[in-house]
Chain A
Amino acid sequence: MFFTYLRRELRNRRKQTIVVAIGLSVAIALVIVVSSVSTGVKNAQSEVLESVYGVGTDITVTQPAGGPGEGAAPARRFDFGEEDGEASEDGTRSLAQDRLSTAMGSTSFDAAALETVSGLDHVSGVAATLDLQNMSFSGEMPDMEALQEGDGPATLQMGPDGAGEGSAGGSSFEIEQFTVTGVDPDAAAVGPLTTAEVADGRTLAADDENVAVLDATYAEQQGLAVGDTITAGGKDLEIVGTVASSTGDGVATASDAYLPLATAQTLADLADQVTDVYVQVDSAENVDAVAAAVEDELPDASVSTQSDLAEGVTGSLSTASNLIGTLGTWLSAIVLAAAFGLAILFTVSGVNRRTRELGTLKAIGWSKGRVVGQVAGESVVQGLIGGAAGLALGALAVWAVNLSGITLSGASGGFTMGGGTGPMSAGAVQGGDTAPEGAGGSAFGERADTLAGAAGNAVDVVLQAPVSLWIVLAAVGLAVLGGLLAGVVGGQRAARLRPAEALRSLA
């Protein structure tokens, strides 16, 4: 009788049932979409972080540039003396220089910090890296005397890949740059290489010296393969392998080239110096405590936890994250509240309309509980219908989102300095001004640096919004909750109803 009566009532009140179910289903669908997209965005964020910092890193330790660190920032300029290079017959000089130094915005510090950190409680793994930047300059300078007669300004065009070509008053030169990370081959559990997979050849081994492993994407761009050599810090290094990111196809790893830490330190002339310490903590609840301890031990260092880093992710990813976080949550809360209100309103008005009917049931011996159960049951089933429809609608929407392959681009704040990907307009060099100083010293060494890594660290991630069992359960739970809420309010009314209402003679 319970189900027969329930079914008949809902069918009889078809319009209300449909309106309430639609209201609830839209709200539920919205909750599903918002929560699954926000999970997707979070996943994308950690993908970005992982491709930059590696898996399992809970804390990173760096030293801010300009800090009172031991490693003074090296000079970021190419100095070409007038006698450098080889002069050809027409007086033009060919120049080439190759320099390996820390990237702008990062400073190296003593590797002793590694020991300090690994000695702390709850630290389960540490690794240090030396993040560097290799810049090579090659070009031809015209005869200085000819230049002094005053030619027009030189312009330098930088392409998005960080390589530039330019000409300065009859001179032509090229700038090549790539990012280099010195890693400790022994500390494989933490650090940027944890998300990298060997694509070709092998990875770095403990006794390696003067070899390099390249990012597969970079290697392809440059037409380099295992067995070739790459020049870093003026030294030719044998390429023993290439690595690719395990987080996605075509996703670049953190750096263009990986060198054994000792080799990198030697070539950059930074003995016993590192730029980043990656820390793994034994369990998530100790992360903040360990971060605080590291800050105590290394007062000059900048300590970032995974969640600090997540906040540092910039780009469309962070926009999406904010949008979902605020607008999405508010919108679903409002729609949910409206749907609940609608369900309650209809249930209450239904009970009011059925005063005599429900009073009659009480008069013929139905208990209060049975009448309340009947009314509440109707609402809960309405909620279930809404929940099922919402689930379908939400799944459809999430499926559409996933199918549309929205690409989010994220960069981790600490790494992209310039962030610019267009032509470097500020890179105009007044050839006429610099040339008379004789040495042909170009000032763009500083500027070129700002391009560093812009290409390497901005990671594109295709948004994949997962629908987890939890989301499904929560959504259905919400729908049932809406139904229950309406049922409780309506049922309370039904419970208060006097059986004597059955005798009211007005129809």
Chain B
Amino acid sequence: MYQIDDLTKTYRQGKRVVRALRGVSLTIGDGELVAVQGPTGGGKSTLLQMLGGLDRPTSGTVKLDGTDLAGMSDAQLTAARAETIGFVFQNFNLIPTLTALENVETALVPARLARQSRTARALAALDSVGLGDRGDHLPGELSGGQQQRVAIARALVKNPKVLLADEPTGNLDEETRDEIVDLIEGLWKEQGLTIVLVTHDSVVARRTPRRLRIAKGAMKELSAA
């Protein structure tokens, strides 16, 4: 699924230069579930941005299904994000003024579906995360775990090939964390998704078949499947 070669990312803030990634090479196969661990500031989120086409690498290649994301135009990257890549964020990042169902629907807006089929698919996705009856609730009316479920439904409603999650359990208590990890694991098993899961939490990481560690921009394989 992913073929990453000598990837570097350097941030410049005035005179300060931060080398967030210093030559990362990595292959992620189709249908893998990979956890990425590491200390804060190590470069986990930066790697995820590169995988998701949210930002461009300073050097190196990130091939998604054989196509280098670094060589894509903005429009192509937007299309890739709309069709192939699903995102889940630490803070859920739901649109506060839209209902749960409408939030899920936003992911289908770029696909320009007919309204009815868009709503039907969004409802089905909410159902699959166990929130079929909460479609008309605003995010503020939902618990953290429920919000993250909505966010997962939003990420998966378009049937992406890849799910990228940045600390999806970082804002949840232990019980809810386990529920969410169970959910992600279940979806992975059912749908054969490729999942990259960034986490601080060793408990979460230990449940995944493959674990990577990034510190100071360099990557180390902890355990391979």
Query: What is the interface of chain A, defined by CB distance below 8 A to chain B?
Result: 1, 4-5, 8-9, 11-12, 356-357, 360-368, 370, 498-500, 502-503, 505, 507
Query: If A5-B95, A357-B93 touch, does A367 touch B110 (CB 8 Å cutoff)?
Result: yes
Spot the interface stretch: B97-105, B141-149, B174-182, B213-221. Answer: B97-105
Looking at B54, B90, B158, B166, which has the most chain A CB atoms within 10 Å of its CB?
B54
- What residues of A have a CB within 8 angstroms of the CB of B52 in the complex? 363
Q: How many whole Å from A9's CB to the nearest CB in chain B?
A: 6
Q: Tell me the number of A-to-B contacts counted with CB atoms below 8 Å.
A: 86
Q: Do residues B91 and A499 form an inter-chain contact, with CB atoms below 8 A?
A: no
Partner of A498, one of B55, B90, B98: B55
Contact of A366 among B55, B83, B106, B170 (CB under 8 A): B106
| Whole-angstrom distance between the Cβ of B198 and the nearest chain A Cβ | 10
Given contacts A12-B97, A364-B154, contact A4 B81 (CB under 8 A): no
Distance of B150 from chain A, by nearest CB (Å): 13
Tell me which residues across on chain B come within 8 A of A8, comparing CB atoms.
97-98
Give the docked Cα–Cα distance between A319 and B167 (Å): 72
User: Which of the residues B49, B78, B154 comes within 8 Å of A367, measured between beta carbons?
Assistant: B78
Instruction: For the complex, give the distance between the alpha carbons of A91 and B139 in Å.
Output: 113
Q: How far is the CA of A505 from the CA of B48 in the complex (A)?
A: 13
Whether a CB of chain A sits under 8 angstroms from the CB of B114 is: no
Give every chain A residue within 8 A of B95 (Cβ-Cβ).
5, 357, 360-361
Question: In the complex, what distance in Å separates the CA atom of A370 from the CA atom of B109?
Answer: 10
Between A and B, 17 residue pairs with Cβ closer than 8 Å are: A1-B109, A4-B102, A5-B98, A11-B97, A12-B97, A364-B82, A365-B78, A365-B110, A366-B82, A367-B78, A368-B74, A368-B78, A370-B109, A370-B110, A500-B49, A502-B87, A502-B89
- Given A365-B79, A503-B48, A505-B167, A360 and B93 contact (CB-CB distance below 8 Å): yes
| B75 with A367: CB separation less than 8 A | yes
User: How far, in whole Å, are A361 and B96 apart by their CA atoms in the complex?
Assistant: 12
Produce 1/0 per residue, B115-139, CB < 8 A to A.
Answer: 0000000000000000000000000
**Are B54 and A4 in contact, CB atoms less than 8 angstroms apart?**
no
A503–B154 CB distance below 8 A: no
CA distance A148 to B147 in the complex (A): 116
Residues of chain B within 8 A (CB-CB) of A5 are 95, 97-98, 102, 106
Tell whether A363 pairs with B81 under 8 Å between CB atoms, given A4-B98, A500-B55, A503-B49.
yes
